[in-house]
Copies of this chain bind each other. A is one copy, B any other.
């Protein structure tokens, strides 16, 4: 009867990612997920032990995909400054096109327990975090790489997080939501600070 779907488990995860990202863990019921998958609620329990397990599988899936895509930019042979520029652009692009990932990330920052945050930090982000840390240290050997990397992430991700809010603040233009525009702004700021003393 089911022609398209050959892997229900994967479908469940994909839909769960979408729904959990949209509305948060508590606001999505197993019935909501089942309905969208086209399955009865009880059938979810054939594939996953419980709701928590399904949620965990979803964030693992969503997060591990991203990390690998980013890695590519950081492994190129380029001068540090250019590499940073490409990283900023890639990260902005990624954050822009995969909203569920961003929202899940935000939600984890808010509600993720210690164990989950530790897992995410060590298994998913550490490698990328360290690589960018090395990068900024090349640009300024005296800087605090930990703080600097967080700042880079701040600039990119917060611009994304606040997108639905920005349009109500003064001076908003359509360009402010475009990937290249944001990436360029961030990169310039990272290089020169606010005063554009070229």
- Which residues on A are within 8 Å of B, measured CB to CB? 23-24, 26-27, 103, 106-107, 109-112, 114, 117-118, 120-122, 125-126, 129-130, 133, 136, 139-140, 142-148, 150-151, 153-155, 157-159, 161-162, 164-166, 168-173, 176, 182, 185-186, 189-196
Contact = CB atoms under 8 A, between A and B. Distances in A.
Contacts of A151: 155, 159, 185-186, 189
Given A150-B162, A185-B144, A191-B194, A169 B121 contact: yes
Given A142-B196, A146-B173, A155-B155, 4 more contacts: A23-B111, A24-B110, A153-B162, A191-B194
Given A121-B169, A146-B169, A166-B150, A195 B126 contact: no
B193 A176 contact: no
Contacts of A154: 154-155, 157-159
A176 to B, nearest CB: 6
A106 B117 contact: no
A129 B165 CA distance: 12
B165 A145 contact: no
A142 B192 CA distance: 14
Contacts of A140: 194-196
